[in-house]
């Protein structure tokens, strides 16, 4: 199991996020036992992309055995901000982290998307994970994205699909609690819901 260092926010303001690196095992412990938040005070930072392509928006379902949000639908790419995103001067390169996740999870290259545009931050009530949503416009169509994922993406998701924009609201409503809480917020902020 991964136990690298990930970034946890100490303070989030409209113009600045400050924090520190911590072991991922501490984050997992707090997720497993939410009462630990009182002692650990960890607010792990994560990135989440809204990949909008000519055919719609990419959405994926996590495996039922995932440690975090098992079996839920989310907007890939998504992942913890790890120590590789922290520059020598201490600045966190969120775009670099998001593009690394894009390559790992979907197999897409940075050249396949326009520069990510920040949307907002959503903190999950129970886990205290703070997702930073970013909009990505992808040049590839739906079939090309799915083929790239099948060829080069990892197996983090059980299902990856591209939903037409006009089907998003119905999908989110029908899936209900199986959609990660931040996804509808990011879709609305991106003007897609």
Q: Provide the CATH number for the domain around residue 170.
A: 3.90.79.10
Mean pLDDT for 130-140 is: 97
CA distance linking residue 42 with residue 108, whole number of Å: 31
What is the model's pLDDT at position 68?
79
What is the model's pLDDT at position 1?
57
Summarised one tens digit per residue, pLDDT across range 85-109 is: 999 998 999 999 999 999 999 999 9
Q: Could you tell me where the beta strands, DSSP code E, fall in 77-153?
A: 78-80, 117-123, 130-137
- pLDDT category at 2 given cuts 50, 70, 90 is low
| Domain annotation covers residue 11 | no
What is the model's pLDDT at position 3?
77
Mean pLDDT for 12-18 is: 92
Q: Which domain holds residue 49?
A: 44-189
- On the question of pLDDT at 66 being above 90, the answer is no
Mean pLDDT for 111-118 is: 94
Percent of the chain with pLDDT over 70: 99
| Domain annotation covers residue 185 | yes
| Domain annotation covers residue 13 | no
- pLDDT category at 67 given cuts 50, 70, 90 is confident
- The vertex-38 CA angle with 32 and 41, nearest 5°, equals 85
| Domain annotation covers residue 104 | yes
Smallest Cα–Cα separation from 189: which of 130, 152, 116, 134? 134
- pLDDT category at 70 given cuts 50, 70, 90 is confident
| Domain annotation covers residue 148 | yes
- The vertex-154 CA angle with 188 and 139, nearest 5°, equals 50
Mean pLDDT for 143-161 is: 95
| Domain annotation covers residue 22 | no
| Domain annotation covers residue 34 | no
| Domain annotation covers residue 20 | no
Per the structure, the count of domains in the chain is 1
Summarised one tens digit per residue, pLDDT across range 169-178 is: 999 999 999 9
Q: Which two tokens stand for residue 144?
A: 């090309």
């Amino acid at each position: 199991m991964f136990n690298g260092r990930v970034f946890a926010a100490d303070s989030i303001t409209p113009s600045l996020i400050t924090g520190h690196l911590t072991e991922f095992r501490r984050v997992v412990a707090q997720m497993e036992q939410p009462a630990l938040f009182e002692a650990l005070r960890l607010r792990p930072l994560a990135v989440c992309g809204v990949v909008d392509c000519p055919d719609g928006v990419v959405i994926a379902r996590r495996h039922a055995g995932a440690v975090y949000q098992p079996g839920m639908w989310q907007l890939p790419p998504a992942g913890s901000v790890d120590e590789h995103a922290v520059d020598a001067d201490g600045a966190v390169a969120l775009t670099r982290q998001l593009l690394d996740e894009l390559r790992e999870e979907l197999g897409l290259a940075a050249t396949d998307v326009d520069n990510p545009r920040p949307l907002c931050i959503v903190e999950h009530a129970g886990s205290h994970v703070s997702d930073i949503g970013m909009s990505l416009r992808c040049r590839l169509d739906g079939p090309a994205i799915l083929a790239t994922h099948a060829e080069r993406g990892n197996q983090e998701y059980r299902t990856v699909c591209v939903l037409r924009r006009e089907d998003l609201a119905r999908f989110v409503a029908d899936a209900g609690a199986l959609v990660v809480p931040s996804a509808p917020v990011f879709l609305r902020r991106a003007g897609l819901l």
